[in-house]
């Protein structure tokens, strides 16, 4: 939806009659009419203007609509699949997306993890995009060097699969040779790698914020209940490793009493070794 100019969205989806507006020299059949009897995919539904949301709701509810400038209802039978990178429930709360439309669309819901959360897919996806771009542009298909594959697997990919596809397209056009080396990567991609490296080297606050953002965008409601046990487990394990498993010393590092540490470990389902129990 974001790719269509706002003033053309209505005509694009529902079509228009000849003379409906300046420049409408002939009747135009919209996407809903074209997809009748099949499926219509609406990408970035969260960007849909409010007035178009109202029209979409009516089509979904009644199975009919009017072309722009038309007076005769057009009946259609269309299955709609919608996608968005936004949190529609949050948009509903802010009155930026119609609640009734949200519930109409939210019949079967699929939530895809970010590309950074499925890094094992990156090599195959990159191979696919490089092959596709090579065929589309009529040039030799590029391949990634092992070093670049490993580097790609560590990147955060904020733009997800689309970003990876665009990078592969850029490399197909700009990179010299068949095998792509590190020095052939676009500068901004190398900057993202430097940022990811700095995160892995100790900026836990930014890492935690990034995790929270992903969980909230994924629809999680009680992230504090998820995060606190994980945080406490991490701190307890670090303290026990530092003290060679001695509970008394570990509890001092954590600022707890030994009994508190024992209770916490039990609550978190952490098994204490015999060595731990003796100290």
58: nearest Cα among 81, 34, 78, 39 = 78
Last residue of a domain, one of 106, 131, 146: 106
Q: 148 burial class (0-12, 13-18, 19+ CB within 10 angstroms)? A: buried
Q: Are residues 51 and 100 in the same domain?
A: yes
Full domain range(s) for residue 171: 115-200
Q: Rounded CA gap, 235 and 162, in Å?
A: 37
The predicted model scores a pTM of 0.56
What local confidence, expressed as pLDDT, does residue 252 receive? 92
Q: Mean pLDDT throughout 203-220?
A: 72
Which residues on adjacent β-strands are paired with residue 179?
143
CA dihedral 9, 43, 33, 95 (to 10 degrees): -60
What local confidence, expressed as pLDDT, does residue 197 receive? 52
Last residue of a domain, one of 170, 200, 230: 200
Would 128 be classed as within a structural domain? yes
Q: Pick the residue with more confidence: 273 or 187?
A: 187
The CATH number covering residue 164 comes to: 1.10.8.60
Structure tokens at 197: 């490296």
Would 212 be classed as within a structural domain? no
Would 217 be classed as within a structural domain? no
Instruction: Convert 90-123 into a string of H (helix), E (strand) and C (coil).
Output: HHHHCCCCCHHHHHHHCCCCCCCCCHHHHHHHHH
The number of folded domains in the chain is 3
Q: Are residues 53 and 96 in the same domain?
A: yes
pLDDT digits (tens, 9 = 90+) for 264-273: 898 888 865 5
């Amino acid at each position: 939806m974001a790719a269509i100019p706002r003033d053309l969205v209505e005509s694009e989806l529902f079509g228009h009659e000849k003379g409906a507006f300046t420049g409408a020299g002939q009747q135009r059949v919209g996407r809903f009419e074209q997809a009748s009897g099949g499926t219509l995919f609406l990408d970035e539904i969260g960007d849909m203007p409010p007035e178009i949301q109202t029209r979409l709701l009516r089509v979904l509810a009644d199975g009919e609509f009017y072309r722009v400038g038309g007076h005769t209802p057009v009946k259609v039978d269309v299955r709609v699949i919608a996608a968005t990178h936004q949190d529609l429930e949050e948009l509903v709360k802010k009155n930026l997306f119609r609640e009734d439309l949200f519930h109409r669309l939210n019949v079967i819901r699929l939530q895809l993890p970010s590309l950074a959360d499925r890094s094992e897919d990156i090599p195959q996806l990159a191979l696919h995009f490089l092959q596709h771009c090579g065929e589309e542009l009529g040039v030799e298909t590029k391949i990634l060097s092992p070093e670049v594959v490993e580097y790609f697997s560590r990147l955060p990919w904020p733009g997800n699969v689309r970003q990876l596809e665009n990078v592969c397209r850029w490399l197909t056009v700009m990179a010299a040779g068949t095998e792509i080396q590190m020095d052939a990567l676009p500068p901004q991609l190398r900057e993202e790698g430097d940022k990811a490296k700095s995160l892995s080297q100790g900026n836990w606050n930014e890492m935690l914020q990034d995790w929270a953002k992903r969980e909230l965008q994924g629809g999680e409601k009680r992230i504090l209940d998820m995060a606190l046990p994980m945080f406490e487990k991490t701190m307890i394990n670090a303290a026990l490793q530092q003290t060679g498993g001695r509970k008394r010393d570990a509890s001092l590092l954590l600022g707890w009493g030994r009994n508190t540490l024992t209770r916490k470990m039990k609550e978190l389902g952490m098994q204490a070794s015999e060595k731990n129990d003796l100290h």
